[in-house]
Structure 1
Amino acid sequence: MTPKRIYQKAFDRWIPNEKSTWTFQVFQKYNNELEKNIWAFFPTSKKIYKNLGENSAKWTDKVESHFEFTEKKNELYNDLQEWSNSYKQFDNWVNLNIIMSISANFETYLASVISLALKSNPGIIFGASKMVDGITILKNGAPTKLNFEDEVIKCTKGDWSSRITSFEKIFGEAPELLTKNVSSLEQIRKLRNKVGHSFGRDIEEAREHAIKKFIPTETISRDRTLKYQSLLWSIAKSIDVFLLENHIGTYQALNFYHTLYQEMRKDVHPSMRAVKLKTEVGRTGVQPADKVFYKSLVNYYENL
C-alpha cells in the first residue's frame, strides 16, 4: 500500500490543510459503498436475458424451465413473460431506492457540514464572520450555545428554493452548482418522498381511500439514476469546498485536539502533545500533516 503523502503546510486557523472536510470524506465512503453495491447488481440484468436468449427461451415458457424456486414461488407467474414484467418492475424499484439512498446520504452530509461551519464560525450568524472563533467558545465558553439546529433545519427541510435562500442568508452566497440545479434537486426530493412515504407512488393519491384504485409506481431509468448520483456528489463537493475554505479552515483538527486534550498529560512539553495529536489523527485515516503543523496547532489551541 502506498503511504499517504504528508502535507507540509504552515498552520493557519482559517486556511484548511486538507482538500475536503472529514464530513465529506465520510460521505464519500458511504457513496463508494453504494457504488460497489450498485455495480454488483446492474450487470446481472443483461447477463440474465442473454442467457435466456442463448437457451432459446420463449415468453410462453414456464418459469421453472429456466429458474429454480423454493416454496412453489414459481406459481406466482403464469409464464416467462409475466416473470420478466415483474423483474423489470424490481429493477425500477432498485433505481428508486438508489435515489432514496443517495438523497439520504447527501442530506445527512449537508446537515453535518452546515452545522460544522456554523460551530467553527458562529459570528457569521450576526454578520461578524471570523470575529469569534468557535474553538474559543468550545474551550472557554459555553459549548451548549453552539447549537444551530434551527439554521440547519432551514437549509435541509422544505423545497430546494427555500433551502438555498436560507443557505444564502446565513453564508452570504451559495455555490453556483447548487443554485443552478434547483429543478433537478426538486425532482430528487419528490422522488425520495414518494419512495419513503408511499411505496414509490404519488403521495396524495396513495392516501386517497375513498375509492379502490391501484396507483402505478414511479419509473426512473438507470441513466437518470446515475445522473442524479453524479449530480449530488458534485454538489456536495462544491458545498464542501465553499464552506471549508470560507468558514471551517482547520476547525476539525482543533476540535479533535480539544477532545484529546482533556485526557492528555499537562506536565510534559507541548511538542509531546503535538506528536500524540499527529499519531491519533493518522489513525483516523484522514490526510496527515507534518509535525510543524501540529506543533503550531497545539500552540494556538493552548493559548486561546
Structure 2
Amino acid sequence: MKFNRDATFSEYTLAWRLFKRHHTHFNDIYWANQATLKFAYASTRPYSRTDSATKIFSLPDNPQRLADTLGDWADNYSEFNQWAQMAAVIAICGYLETYIAQVATAALESRPALIFGGSAQVDGTTLLKLNNTYDFYSHAEHLVRGDWSARISAYTRLFGSCPYANQVKKLDQLRKLRNDAGHSFGRDITKMRFSESSFVQPLPKISNEKIKEFLDLAHTVSQLADNHLGPSYIGSYEVVRLFHIWKKELKNYMPLNQRELAQEFSRHFNSVTGSQYGKQRAEALIRYYNTI
C-alpha cells in the first residue's frame, strides 16, 4: 500500500471532523433545551398567571429566587431562554473560528512556503522532523480576528482566494452579535458606554429560525474552507503530525519493528479520533515519514 501525502483522511480534514462534532454537540444540547421550554410552558396551561408557582414547581428544595406566581416564572424563563440564545451565538461563532484557525494552521504547516508567497510543493514534514518551533498560528490568527472583510483578505493573501467570500455579510452579522453578547451580556454595547438609566435594558430577541440560519452558515463556511484547503494544501499532513508527536512521546517504549509500530499507532489514532486508521495504512505512513 502506498501512502498518499496529498489525500485527506476519510474525505475531510481532522480539523473539520472536530468541527462537525462540536456542531453536532451544540445541536444536541440546544434543541434539548428548546424541547424542555415547550414542555414547561405546556404544563402551565391549566393554570392562570396569578396562580402560585408552587402548583407546578413543588419541589421540597425550591430555589429561593423562584418567582411567586406562574406568570412571573413564565416571564423569567422567557428571558432565560433569550440568554441561552445569546450563548448559542457565542458558541457557534466560537467553534467556527476555532475550526478556521486550526485548518489554516494545518495548511500553513503542511505547505510553509505559502507564508512567503512561495510554492505549495514544499513539504512541511521536513520542518516537522527537524522539530521546528516556528509559530504558524501567528499567520492563521489574522483569519479569525477583526471584521470578516479583513479576515477574508488575509485568507486570500495566504491561499490565493477565499471560498466563503460571498458570506461576508452574514458572517459579520454573527460576529457583531457575538461581540454584543460577550461584552455586554447580549445588549448593544454602543448603548452601554454611559448609563443614563439604572434599569436593566431588554435583551435582543433571537428566534430559533435565526439560530438555524447561523448553524447553516457555520456548516457552509466550514465545508467550503475544508474543500479548498484539505485537498490543495493539507492532504495527510495532520496524520503525519499526529504520528510525529505520538512517536516522540513513546520515550521508554518503542515497538521492536515497523509492523508493531504501525499497529500501536493505529490504536492511538483510533483513541484520539474515534476512527480506524488501519495497520497497512499506518505502515505506509511510517515508510513515507522515514524517507523525509
Give the alignment's TM-score, normalised by structure 2: 0.88
Q: 2: distance between equivalents of 1:72 and 1:210?
A: 31
Asked if the contact 2:8–2:230 (Cα under 8 Å) also holds between the matched residues in 1, the reply is yes
Structure 1 vs Structure 2: percent identity of aligned residues?
Answer: 28
The alignment's C-alpha RMSD in Å is 2.4
Q: 1: distance between equivalents of 2:55 and 2:80?
A: 21
Q: What SS class does the counterpart of residue 276 from structure 2 fall into? A: coil
Following superposition, the deviation at residue 43 of structure 1 comes to: 1.2
The structure 2 residue matched to 1:229, chosen from 215, 219, 222, is: 215
1:145-164 → structure 2 map (5 Å cutoff): 145=134, 147-164=135-152
Q: 2: distance between equivalents of 1:280 and 1:67?
A: 48
Q: 2: distance between equivalents of 1:174 and 1:286?
A: 30
Matching residue of 2:33: 41
Gap change, CA 1:267 and 1:205, over 3 Å in 2: closer
1:32-71 → structure 2 map (5 Å cutoff): 32-53=24-45, 55=46, 57-68=47-58, 70=62
Q: 2: distance between equivalents of 1:268 and 1:72?
A: 64
Q: 2: distance between equivalents of 1:51 and 1:17?
A: 49
Q: 1: distance between equivalents of 2:170 and 2:144?
A: 16
1:44-65 deviation per Cα after TM superposition (whole angstroms, max 9, x unaligned): 2222232222x2x223333334
- For the pair 1:239 / 2:229, whether they are aligned, the reply is no
Q: 2: distance between equivalents of 1:136 and 1:18?
A: 24
Asked if the contact 1:120–1:251 (Cα under 8 Å) also holds between the matched residues in 2, the reply is yes
Matching residue of 2:276: 288
1:254-286 deviation per Cα after TM superposition (whole angstroms, max 9, x unaligned): 112212333377795434433332232233344
Matching residue of 2:9: 17
Asked if the contact 1:15–1:245 (Cα under 8 Å) also holds between the matched residues in 2, the reply is yes
Following superposition, the deviation at residue 211 of structure 1 comes to: 5.5
Q: What SS class does the counterpart of residue 186 from structure 1 fall into? A: helix
- For the pair 1:95 / 2:85, whether they are aligned, the reply is yes
Q: 2: distance between equivalents of 1:100 and 1:209?
A: 25
**Structure 1 counterpart of 2:156, one-letter code:** E
Unaligned runs of 5+ in 2: none
Q: 2: distance between equivalents of 1:259 and 1:71?
A: 49
Following superposition, the deviation at residue 232 of structure 1 comes to: 0.7
Matching residue of 2:129: 139
Matching residue of 2:21: 29
Following superposition, the deviation at residue 198 of structure 1 comes to: 0.3
Asked if the contact 2:12–2:226 (Cα under 8 Å) also holds between the matched residues in 1, the reply is yes
Q: 1: distance between equivalents of 2:243 and 2:114?
A: 24
Asked if the contact 1:14–1:245 (Cα under 8 Å) also holds between the matched residues in 2, the reply is yes
Following superposition, the deviation at residue 213 of structure 1 comes to: 5.7
Following superposition, the deviation at residue 95 of structure 1 comes to: 1.0
1:98-177 → structure 2 map (5 Å cutoff): 98-140=88-130, 143-145=132-134, 147-175=135-163
**Structure 1 counterpart of 2:139, one-letter code:** E
Following superposition, the deviation at residue 252 of structure 1 comes to: 1.4
Q: 1: distance between equivalents of 2:280 and 2:119?
A: 27
Q: 2: distance between equivalents of 1:285 and 1:155?
A: 25
Q: 2: distance between equivalents of 1:60 and 1:267?
A: 72
- For the pair 1:256 / 2:248, whether they are aligned, the reply is no
Aligned residues: 288
Gap change, CA 1:47 and 1:269, over 3 Å in 2: closer
Q: 2: distance between equivalents of 1:273 and 1:267?
A: 5
Q: 1: distance between equivalents of 2:147 and 2:284?
A: 43
**Structure 2 counterpart of 1:107, one-letter code:** E
Asked if the contact 1:205–1:215 (Cα under 8 Å) also holds between the matched residues in 2, the reply is no
Matching residue of 2:285: 297
1:185-204 → structure 2 map (5 Å cutoff): 185-204=171-190
Q: What SS class does the counterpart of residue 128 from structure 1 fall into? A: coil
